[in-house]
Amino acid sequence: MEHRARKRFGQNFLHDPLVIDRIHAAIDARPGEHLVEIGPGQGAITERLLTRAGALDVIELDRDLIEPLRRRLGGLGELRIHNADALDFDLRTLVDSANQPASLRLVGNLPYNISTPLLFHFLDQLDALQDMHLMLQKEVVDRIVADPGDKTYGRLSVMIQSRCAATSLFRIGPGAFRPAPKVESAFLRLRPLRPLPYPIDDAKLHERIVAAAFGQRRKTLRNSLSGVLDPERLEAAGIDPKRRAEELDVASYARLANLAAAATAG
């Protein structure tokens, strides 16, 4: 499938057969599972997903890739192609919520220029997802799985780890793609936590607190959260106001958000 990669779509097409084998081993797709692929591109991962599961939904923005995919792979199973922007696509529309809630297995080589907005978009639809296997810039994966105190630990770490178990599976070098990106990649597994170990009463308030804390990460929490929480409430949560954002774990941010929610309700 000859196709010139388009920079505006963030296209880098995977071609390394060894990497493709590792990806499929990690996903371990089974017959009858409901798989959804974001950005199938030239079908490097798509073909085996379709033959293993028997059916596959793919979301592809580039119209020039759709007919070649349909011609080449349509005879291998039920290939349902959605010409759409993944940032706007509602995954819940693919779910039979009455019989198969949280049934979707999401797979994708995400465009690196919009990977963070896409991740937050998927977080908003976790009720439809069983798991996610995603190829991302290694730097982003490192941030997602980072522990408190690590220099890469930040807003993305807290927001994802609050709701998912995150595992960095393996690194992928630039040469595995055509054209080769200028950065290393990594393959990430996300599994929604059910039930949540640290329930959050107000998700939007939690997101606001985490964003405020890491928006001024060099400042103490007393200062960075001054517009959201006063020092007394920090101390009520068992948190020293002199600490900084990267020192708090996921449970502490959930506790802070719930205290703030209770104060607002009161």
For residues 101 and 119, give the distance between their C-alpha atoms in angstroms, rounded to a whole number.
20
Give the number of other Cβ atoms within 10 Å of residue 87's Cβ: 12
Q: Would residue 238 be called left, alpha or beta, if left means φ above 0 and alpha means ψ between -120 and 50 degrees?
A: left
123 with 20: CB under 8 angstroms?
Answer: no
For residues 81 and 62, give the distance between their C-alpha atoms in angstroms, rounded to a whole number.
11
Amino acid (1-letter code) at residue 185: S
What is the H or E stretch that residue 252 is in? helix 250-265
Give the residue numbers of the binding site for S-adenosyl-L-methionine. 12, 14, 39, 60, 85, 109
For residues 82 and 85, give the distance between their C-alpha atoms in angstroms, rounded to a whole number.
9
In the DSSP assignment, the letter for residue 147 is: P
78 with 55: CB under 8 angstroms?
Answer: yes
- Helix, strand, or coil (residue 73): helix
- Helix, strand, or coil (residue 69): helix
Give the residue numbers of the binding site. 12, 14, 39, 60, 85, 109
| Tokens 């991740």 belong to residue | 119
